[in-house]
Amino acid sequence: MESMQIPLACVEVGGGSIQTVFFDNGSVRMLDGAHHPEDATLAIAVPGIIGEGIVTEATNLGWRNTDPVEALGLRGPATFVANDAEAAALGEAALRDGPPALVYIGIGTGIGGAVVRDGEVVRANLFGHNAAGYGHAFGTTRCRCGRVGCLETVAAGWALPDPIDVAHFAHLASCVASAIDRLDIASEGIVVIGGGIGRRYPVLIDLVAARLHRDVQPTAAPDDAKSAAAWGLRFALGRKRRTLAAGT
Ligand SMILES: [Zn+2]
């Protein structure tokens, strides 16, 4: 993988915690909280809808039309702001040296997902909420987003007991599997289950794999990283630079 010349600070904002991953000359360091050293390029991953560097909506953070640099008290500016699941999906692909297709679902405080094909995000804002015509599939509970029956109401950290008791796993896995199964383009490639809950309960990986009859893998991110999002941000920025360097 190509390493960046300029130090890069990737801030990953989660529902429960924030982490900064520093890439500098081949070394990787992780720090709790949001940091932007003076000489580093800044990239931010947020669990929400992003537009032009602004977080249009992040239900689990209570952010709406929020400038993440300002909200996090960072020096800024940010060179790149991305949805966390898109960044994580790109990162999972980059850390695996680019499988042809990859479906990512991050299950933590909230749920996010994306599909990456040939190094590009081809589907985003998946799984967590019923916005994309999933219908009221997962019960009748009102979601934090205001809709009814979103996958988050049965499978997100905010909706589940902590710790999750064993009796919950089968239902959780079948809901996650059916959400993935319903994706019309997801029949190819590997499935990666990440996020805090995906990490903490590896049994989910096997249960979902058994239901989907597909290759389901845990995250390829290092153990102490929140997710692969930082690697995805680095990949996306590297590509942007190469495109600029190639000129038009
Ligand atoms: Zn919802």
pLDDT at 139: 87
194 CA → ligand 1 middle, Å: 19
DSSP string, the chain: -PPPSS-EEEEEE-SS-EEEEEEETTEEEEEES----TTSEEEEEESSEEETTEEEEETTTTEEEE-HHHHTT-----SEEEEHHHHHHHHHHHHTT--SEEEEEEESSSEEEEEEETTEEEE-S-SSSGGGTT-S-S-SPBPTTS-BS-THHHHSGGGS-SSPPHHHHHHHHHHHHHHHHT-TTTTSSEEEEEHHHHHH-THHHHHHHHHHTS-EEE--S-TTSS-SHHHHHHHHHHHHHHHHHH--
| pLDDT tens string 96-114 | 987 889 999 999 989 999 9
77: left (phi over 0), alpha (psi -120 to 50) or beta: beta
| The pLDDT of residue 140 | 87
- CATH topology (fold) of 98-218: Nucleotidyltransferase; domain 5 (3.30.420)
Pairwise CA distance, residues 226 & 205, whole Å: 18
Which of 227, 234, 237, 172 shows the shortest CA–CA distance to 27?
Answer: 234
The rounded Å distance from CA 101 to ligand 1 centre is 26
- C-beta of residue 180 within 8 angstroms of C-beta of residue 126: no
CA 70 to ligand 1 center in whole angstroms: 26
Report how far ligand 1's centroid is from the alpha carbon of 131 (Å): 8
Q: Is 135 left (phi over 0), alpha (psi -120 to 50) or beta?
A: left
From ligand 1's centre to the CA of 111, what distance in Å?
Answer: 9
The per-residue pLDDT for 240 is 82
In this structure, which residues have their CB less than 5 angstroms from ion ligand 1? 129, 143, 145, 147, 150
Measured between alpha carbons, how far is 231 from 229 in angstroms, rounded to an integer? 5
State in Å: Cα 135 to ligand 1 middle.
11
Q: What is the 138 CA–ligand 1 centroid distance (Å)?
A: 11
How much distance in Å is there from the Cα of 126 to the middle of ligand 1? 11
Whole-model pTM: value is: 0.91
Q: List the CATH code of the domain at 8-86+224-246.
A: 3.30.420
Centre of ligand 1 to C-alpha 148, Å, is 7
**In this predicted structure, what is the pLDDT of residue 16?**
83
Please tell me the distance between residue 36's alpha carbon and the centre of ligand 1 in angstroms: 32
How far, in Å, from the CA of 127 to the mean position of ligand 1?
Answer: 9
Regions in the chain scoring below 70 on pLDDT: 1-5, 131-136, 184-187, 247-248
Distance 65 CA to ligand 1 centre (A): 18
- CA of 145: how far to CAs of 57, 61, 68, 142, 157, in Å? 10, 11, 20, 8, 15
Residue spans in the chain of domains classed CATH 3.30.420.40: 98-218
Residue 147 Cα, ligand 1 centroid: separation in angstroms? 5
Going from the Cα of 30 to the center of ligand 1, the distance in angstroms, rounded, reads 31
